[in-house]
Amino acid sequence: MRKVLVFRDQLLPVSETFVANQSLRLERYEAYFLGSKRAFPSIPVPEERLFLINPSNTKSLRSGDFRDEILFKIFGRLPRRIVAWAQRLSPSLIHVHFAPDGALALPLAEVLKVPLIVSLLGTDVTMDERAILLKSWPSHRLYLLRKKRLQQKAKLFIVPSKFLLQKALDRGYPAHKLVLLPHGIDTSFFYPDPERVEYGRILYVGRLIQRKGLPFLVEALAPLLSEFPELRLVVIGNGPKRKEYEELAKKFLGDRVVFLGAQPKEVVRQEMQRAYLFSMPSVTMPDGEAETFGIVYLEAQACGTPVVAFASGGVPEVVLNGETGFLSPERDVEALRESIRSLLRSEELRNRLAKAAVRHVQEQFELVKLNRKLEDLYDRVLENRLS
């Protein structure tokens, strides 16, 4: 069986289930994982398939692991133990997630003499490059310095949405190297359970940051409390805005809201199955950050939960307005409220959208089907039928 080396700077944040699902569910390729360090909290991957440049996660200059990480990131200098491990592994290709990580992995692809494939996934492409230089992470700034080289050397760039495809073209990525391939959903894990649905239970799952739009949802729900006594909001996720958003939600929704913090995927599935509807009204930020795909919307729909959100970024490509949910213009709180009200007033409408949502995910976004397409792309790169 051929091997693919999956590189991610931090392995693997809990928000990146799409990387783990894609990599660990391949059928004809075996994925191994290389990263600078482990994310906390992280998605578990098999230890025998994992190698880290800075396994101690230390930030002390006295640590050889930390020095290795810094030399690798800033100067592209690969530690001998990493090169030796990778050469013994002998992967057929390297698949990197996010453009800044692609820039980091260039020296490794050159040493191993294997094709480099990069998935473009979010702020690496949408965020205004002047904003990156001013306030983004050091790895993003380094990426800008190496972007031209990355665009020349990588064999293929994968994007999950038409929205992101256009953004990549706008950023100078060569059209002949861009391929559209959405993320897949494990429908054997995310599935409906109609007996568990609770009328009026509204679910938000996402980071507690400005772009994810929780305050818009709170504002939309507040006037509905008296009309719908059963209304409840459940919030799953953590982030720098958590305290601020908890205070805001308590002020406007009182005891009709609960914050659960970050939760494992089993709890997320359970809450999606219980929810009457799902809402994460993401918005486009002034610096260009936007929802480029929105896998959480697909997970909710796979569980038979209609989505109410804004038509932001790539969201209209995963939520069919009027068929599997309702999408409103960005920041239009009144329209968001009316969509929620219409579903709360009509369980028949809600259930019709729920059934359509399940079919939509099963037909268009099933993980096994899309992973087979990914492996076909790997084959084509290795057979030189792509750039």
Which band of pLDDT confidence, cut at 50, 70 and 90, is reported for residue 223?
very high
Give the number of other CB atoms < 10 A from CB of residue 90.
11
State the number of CA atoms in the 13 A half-sphere of 128 facing the CB: 9
- pLDDT number for residue 62: 66
The rounded distance, in Å, linking the Cα atoms of 387 and 177 is 6
Asked whether the whole model's pTM tops 0.85, one would answer: yes
pLDDT tens for each residue of 52-73 = 999 887 776 667 888 889 889 8
- Strands 232-236 and 201-205, how do they pair? parallel
- pLDDT number for residue 74: 87
For a pLDDT cut of 90, what percent of the chain falls above it? 80
What are the strands of the beta sheet with 2-7, ordered from one edge? Answer: 50-52, 29-35, 2-7, 93-97, 116-119, 156-159, 178-180
Rg of the chain in Å (alpha carbons) = 22
Run of H or E residues at 156 = strand 156-159
Please name the residues in contact with 130: beta carbons below 8 A apart, sequence gap of 6 or more.
none
Which band of pLDDT confidence, cut at 50, 70 and 90, is reported for residue 287?
confident
pLDDT averaged over every residue in the chain = 93
Please name the residues in contact with 321: beta carbons below 8 A apart, sequence gap of 6 or more.
311, 327
The rounded distance, in Å, linking the Cα atoms of 346 and 156 is 47
pLDDT tens for each residue of 300-341 = 999 999 999 999 999 999 999 999 999 999 999 999 999 999
The rounded distance, in Å, linking the Cα atoms of 233 and 278 is 10
pLDDT tens for each residue of 228-282 = 999 999 999 999 999 999 999 999 999 999 999 989 899 999 999 999 999 999 9
